[in-house]
Amino acid sequence: MGALNDVHFNGELLDNNNGFIRLNKEEEDDSVPISDIKNAVKILLQGLGEDSNRQGLIKTPLRVAKALRQGTTGYRQKVKDIVQGALFPEAGLDGGVGHAGGAGGLVVVRDLDLFSYCECCLLPFRVKCHVGYVPSGQRVVGLSKLSRVSDVFAKRLQDPQRLANEVCSALHNGIRPAGVGVVLQCWHIQLPQIEWNCSGHINHPTVVDMQGWSKISVCAGSGVFERENGDVWCDFRALLKLRGVKVDKVHNKSSSSQGWCPSRSLDVLAINGHENTQNPLNCKISSKAEPGVAAMVAAVAAILHSLGEDSSRKELVGTPHRFVQWLMNFKSSDVEMNLNGFGLEGISQIKCRSQRNMDGEYANFKRDELQSELNLPFWSQCEHHLLPFYGAVHIGYFHDEGTKPIGRSILQSIVHFHGWKLQVQERLTRQIVETVSSVYGGDVMVVVEANHICMISRGIEKVGSSTATIATMGRFSTDPAAKELFLQTVSESTSGSSGG
């Protein structure tokens, strides 16, 4: 997208602002028309059956527009503006310029945390970037520029292999080294299935290796890195292993990573009740099958256009439909709560029993009276940014001896019902505890632990962060010992799963 510009080093120290060129200020009001994106997001909300004027959604169109604009700033940046003022002579004492030591050895910058938007589905994916180069021509580049150049290309709609290729090519043309090597480790969020979500198991949501995500490692090389099994690649891999990075299975330029996106599974569509085995990108979506879907797809195409992309580009032809299919998973009207026979009569009896508990009849509880259902997986969609968040729900409650504990499948159904829609974690936690309390009894405590994709893809870009929320009712609200007992149970469970 026009960011590669040849830069020639003339052997002189370019001292502009202490060796750094400040990027031109982005024309925030004109470069990306926010109003067009906002209008498109309102159409998406309407297609989900939501009211964009309700509290909680009023600013969503603006938030989404800002996040998309910030996440695609790479289209409006030039590599030469980053690299040109950060090339320094380093010839050693014999050359009479620079300091002792000279240049010529391998330089590697590891563990650059980036994110990019997947061009297949518009969902963000995480990137761990490792860049190495061998200086030549008596010049080195400021190390921070390797990160900034990588970020330029990450801040575009991307595919992992093309991202690696573009970073490699840009650095090779920008700093004229003996060679450049790039290794990317990329993680893409999986598309949840209802069956898996209700019965599956996940590890503790703060596990750093992002289990349950699609993962691919790709590489690209130029100059001395063009030979895949060359000594310089061996040195590069050895330096990565010092950080515990294993790159044994790495795709190179000749291999494709297009199939890594889980949304490709959506390319087998059901149109008018019949499975389509043809190329889904050539199929028109029937607005009769899903009212409003065609308008939503057109809205996503308009977003791509507003970002400066061409929605007719072959890699993007199916993207609007895939993104809409993702969103439609979270249409709240499509989700039901299955309580497996817990009717109003049963609820009434349980409430009476719960009231006796709260009146103090069972003030002295034993450990075996505490029932816990831990690590109930959930998925949800942040209503502020239209990005997924996911994790685990832990539910604790007290019940009378001789009564049958509430089944895990029922609790999972409650979690699924409240999670599978536009949500915020605080509300989700409260809704779960109130529903479980109404179905089973008043003494309930809920802990929700979640990873939010908006935390890695918006301006803060806090990879690896997680959020925990608590809601209590009945005895858990008044008895610190009861609360501590359940939290200890959760801690013991999650510490065991995260270590596996």
Of residues 18 and 189, more confidence is placed in 189
d(CA 363, CA 372): 19
Burial code (b: 16+ CB inside 10 Å, e: under 16) for 130-155 equals bbbbbbbbbbbbbeebbbbbbbbbbb
pLDDT surpasses 60 at 408: yes
pLDDT of residue 33: 77
d(CA 61, CA 36): 10
Torsion 422-428-431-436 (CA) sign: positive
pLDDT surpasses 80 at 347: no
pLDDT of residue 260: 85
pLDDT of residue 496: 55
Q: Which of 448, 474, 466, 475 is nearest to 394 (CA)?
A: 448
Longest alpha-carbon distance in the chain: 92
Domain edges within the chain: 72-192+210-242, 367-496
Model confidence, pTM? 0.76
Task: Look at 6-15, 28-37, 194-203 and tell me which has the smallest mean pLDDT.
Answer: 6-15
Residues 6+ apart with CB under 8 A from 110: 130, 239, 240, 243, 245
pLDDT surpasses 50 at 351: no
Condensed to tens digits (0 to 9), the pLDDT of residues 418-438 reads 998 999 999 999 999 999 998
d(CA 475, CA 444): 8
pLDDT of residue 206: 35
Condensed to tens digits (0 to 9), the pLDDT of residues 128-161 reads 999 999 988 778 888 999 999 999 999 999 999 9
pLDDT of residue 451: 86
pLDDT of residue 239: 94
pLDDT of residue 88: 81
Averaged pLDDT, 251-271: 63
Query: Residue 285 — pLDDT band, cuts 50, 70, 90?
Result: very low
Residues 6+ apart with CB under 8 A from 405: 371, 399
For helices 34-47 and 319-328, give the axis angle rounded to 10 degrees: 50
pLDDT of residue 89: 78
Average pLDDT over the chain reads: 77
For helices 408-419 and 425-439, give the axis angle rounded to 10 degrees: 140
CB-based burial of residue 429 (10 Å sphere; 0-12 exposed, 13-18 middle, 19+ buried)? buried
Domains 72-192+210-242 and 367-496 share a fold: yes
What kind of fold does domain 72-192+210-242 have according to CATH? GTP Cyclohydrolase I, domain 2 (3.30.1130)
| Domain with residues 367-496, CATH architecture | 2-Layer Sandwich (3.30)
pLDDT surpasses 90 at 243: no
pLDDT of residue 18: 32
Averaged pLDDT, 244-257: 65
pLDDT of residue 255: 53
pLDDT surpasses 90 at 289: no
Task: Look at 70-79, 322-331, 455-464 and tell me which has the smallest mean pLDDT.
Answer: 455-464
